[in-house]
Each structure stands twice: as structure tokens, then as C-alpha cells.
């Protein structure tokens, strides 16, 4: 099984949504890929294991997360080394964090441009993130039938 690693700052909202949606779609299409997510600046300020926004939008789509009770996990070199593909969800936010903590990996990361809550509401950011996840699945599975947003 090949592995995608999604990165955001806190591993609480965006990267968790990307991980869960990716895995749900990948399993439905038997893609041979699996996703994990990690944070680049995990702290203890989050009021629980996963964002209520993430859970609400997943529920709206009929997706039941299997890992909703795990708390955010900080990224390690091993996470990068065991991934076949790495995505950081906000380049202007995460590239400098990766440069500082994981400089050998900075140029091997695909950078997206999905805003956090300080710049975009979940109703704006999450559909963009979901679209990027589907586009990534299609690129990774270029020899299969295209993925489509499913709810």
C-alpha cells in the first residue's frame, strides 16, 4: 500500500479532513493508497482531538471518520521517509516550517494553498481542500477511472 502524508500546522482541522476524505475515497475505489496526517506546529491549545468543523462537514457528506478520537500528531522525519507523496496544505504557512524542521524534505513536498480559519471559513476552505484531494487521487491513479466527489 502506498502512503500520502498530509501536513498542516496543528493536525486538527485541514490535514485531518484531507486524510479522512482521501482514505474514504481511496478505499471506495480500491486505489492501493492510504493517507496519514501530521502537524508541523502541534500544541495543546486545541479543545479536543479533531476540529468540530471537520467533523460537521464530514457528517454532512456521510463520512464517518475512523480516527476521530486520536489527538493531533507532530510530524517526524520517519513520517516523511515512509510516505510516497507529501502534501502541505498551505505553502506560505508551511514551507518555512518544513524548511526549519525538515530541510532535506522541503523540495519533495507538494504545496497547496488552502487557508486556515484565520483567513477562510470552513464552508469556503473545505470544498477547496476536498477538490484538491480528489485531484491528487486522480493524479496518483492516472491509469484508473477518474475519481469524482461523492457524498
Residue range of the domain that includes 7: 2-140
Residues 6+ apart with CB under 8 A from 123: none
What pTM did the predictor assign? 0.90
Q: What is the pLDDT of residue 113?
A: 97
Q: What are phi and psi of 115, to 5 degrees?
A: -70, 150
Q: What is the pLDDT of residue 67?
A: 59
Strand 109-111 versus strand 85-88 pairing type: parallel
- Asked if residue 151 is part of any domain, the answer here is no
Split into its structural domains, the chain has a count of 1
Question: What per-residue string of b and e applies to 86-122 under the rule 16 or more CB within 10 Å gives b?
Answer: bbbbbeebbeebbeebbeebbeebebbebbbeeeeeb
- Asked if residue 146 is part of any domain, the answer here is no
Q: What is the pLDDT of residue 89?
A: 98
Per the CB < 8 A criterion, the answer to whether 27 and 74 are in contact is no
Cell of 108: 519533495
pLDDT tens track for 11-33: 999 999 999 999 999 998 889 99
Q: What is the pLDDT of residue 48?
A: 83
DSSP 78-96: HHHHT-SEEEESBHHHHHH
Question: What per-residue string of b and e applies to 22-40 under the rule 16 or more CB within 10 Å gives b?
Answer: bbbbbeebebebebbbbbb
Q: Where residue 21 sits, what CATH number does that domain have?
A: 3.40.50.2300
- List of the chain residues with pLDDT < 50: 145, 150-151
Q: What is the pLDDT of residue 68?
A: 61
Amino acid at each position: 500500500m502506498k502512503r500520502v502524508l498530509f501536513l498542516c500546522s496543528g493536525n486538527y482541522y485541514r490535514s485531518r479532513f484531507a486524510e479522512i476524505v482521501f482514505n474514504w475515497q481511496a478505499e471506495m475505489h480500491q486505489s492501493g493508497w492510504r493517507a496519514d496526517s501530521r502537524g508541523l506546529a502541534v500544541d495543546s491549545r486545541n479543545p479536543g482531538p479533531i476540529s468540530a468543523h471537520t467533523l460537521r462537514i464530514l457528517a454532512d457528506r456521510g463520512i464517518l471518520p475512523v480516527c476521530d478520537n486520536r489527538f493531533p500528531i507532530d510530524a517526524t522525519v520517519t513520517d516523511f521517509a515512509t510516505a510516497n507523496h507529501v502534501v502541505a496544505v498551505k505553502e506560505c504557512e508551511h514551507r518555512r516550517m518544513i524548511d526549519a524542521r525538515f530541510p532535506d524534505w522541503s523540495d519533495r513536498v507538494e504545496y497547496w494553498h488552502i487557508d486556515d480559519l484565520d483567513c477562510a471559513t470552513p464552508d469556503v476552505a473545505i470544498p477547496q481542500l476536498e477538490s484538491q484531494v480528489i485531484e491528487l487521487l486522480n493524479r496518483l491513479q492516472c491509469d484508473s477511472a477518474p475519481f469524482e466527489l461523492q457524498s
